[in-house]
Amino acid sequence: MTSPERLRAALRETPREEWVDAALTAASERPETIGRSFTQAGRRAGRTSLPGEPGWTADEAVRALLLAALPADRAETEIGDLYRYGDADEKRAVLKALPMLAVGSAGLPLLQDAIRTNDARLLAAALGPYARHLDQAAWRQAVLKCVFTGVPLAEVFGLDERADRELAVMLAAFADERAAAGRPMPADAAALLGRLTCEES
């Protein structure tokens, strides 16, 4: 799991550092400025992948750092608003940032919103470390939705630790449906089912 310090270090390898510094200072001192800097992060800081932080792009890292820079008493409201009015990239950045923000479980409704969508990018971002706040039934359904919508299960944080017997039952039923339809079971789902049933026998 990454941290604001690691994201900041990874961003030092990219241009536009002055804009990033100014925007972070502004977010902490004048939180009302975050609306525009959060939205413009991609245009201002670029969207390249960060070599120092695999799985993160420059705009996502800047957005996560902006959220982390908010004063504690404004964080929950601003984060909720930025997600509510965010485009898909902004929503994804909020979801990815949640585990490193001091908001406790207050971000759970955002996760649930993302899991309700049919956007695979949002679904994947919702199943990071912050998904520990999801109850087990919701988490199982979300994992199964990944299998349905083609999100690789490698995107699911802590999959093997949390996968349980009930998930194995659901995956087995899914495998039966696929077999009946003559359609293949995704390899990563079949492998997970194999691991879960292997443990039992």
Q: Closer CB to other proteins, residue 50 or residue 93? A: 93
Cβ-based nearer residue to other proteins, 91 or 140: 91
Whole-angstrom Cα distance, residue 180 to residue 177? 5
Burial readout 15-36 (b: 16 or more C-beta within 10 A, e: otherwise): ebeeebeebbebbbeebebbee
Q: Please report whether residue 49 would count as binding other proteins according to CB under 8 A.
A: no
Contacting residues for 135 by C-beta, under 8 A, at least 6 apart: none
Q: Which of residues 143-172 bind other proteins (CB under 8 A)?
A: 145, 148-152, 155
In the complex, minimum distance from the CB of residue 155 to other proteins, in angstroms, rounded to a whole number:
8
How far apart are the C-alpha atoms of 127 and 162, rounded to whole Å?
12
Residue 185 contacts other proteins per CB under 8 A: no
The footprint of other proteins on this chain (CB under 8 A) covers a number of residues equal to 24
Closest CA to 129 of 3, 31, 12: 3
Q: Per rule CB under 8 A, is residue 76 in the interface with other proteins?
A: no
Footprint of other proteins on 77-116 (CB under 8 A)? 85, 87-89, 91
10 Å CB burial of residue 55 (0-12, 13-18, 19+) is exposed
Q: Which of residues 121-140 bind other proteins (CB under 8 A)?
A: 121, 124
Q: What is the contact surface with other proteins in residues (CB under 8 A)?
A: 35-36, 39-40, 42-43, 85, 87-89, 91, 117-121, 124, 145, 148-152, 155
